[in-house]
Amino acid sequence: MSRAWLEGRLEGVEPRAELNLLRATLVTALGRGDDITRLVHSVCKLDPVAGGELLVGPRALAHPAAIRAALGVVGALEEVTPVSGLYRRLADLAPDAIADVLHTAIARHGDTDWVWRLAGREEPPGTTPLGLLGARDPELAAHRALDHEYVQAVVDRAGSGDEHALRAIYTRAPREALFVAVATTLDRGADVPIVAWIAALHGPDIDPLFAAVARGLRTQEGRERLLGQADGLPGTLATLRTR
Confidence at residue 230, expressed as pLDDT on a 0 to 100 scale: 95
Q: For Cα atoms 72, 153, 236, give the angle at the middle one, nearest 5 degrees.
A: 155
Q: Which residues of the chain fall below pLDDT 70?
A: 1
Give phi and psi for 36, each to the nearest 5.
Answer: -105, 5
The pLDDT tens digits for 23-71 are 999 999 999 999 999 999 999 999 999 999 999 999 999 999 999 999 9
Quick one: how many helices (H) and strands (E) in the chain? 18, 0
Q: Fill in the DSSP letter of residue 189.
A: T
Confidence at residue 165, expressed as pLDDT on a 0 to 100 scale: 97
Look up the pTM and report it: 0.90
Confidence at residue 39, expressed as pLDDT on a 0 to 100 scale: 97
**How many Cα neighbours within 13 Å face the side chain of 217?**
27
Confidence at residue 147, expressed as pLDDT on a 0 to 100 scale: 97
Which sign, positive or negative, has the C-alpha torsion 217, 186, 181, 121?
negative
- Cβ-contact 54, 77 below 8 angstroms: no
- Number of C-beta neighbours around residue 172 at 10 A: 14
| CA–CA gap between residue 30 and residue 135 (Å, rounded) | 35
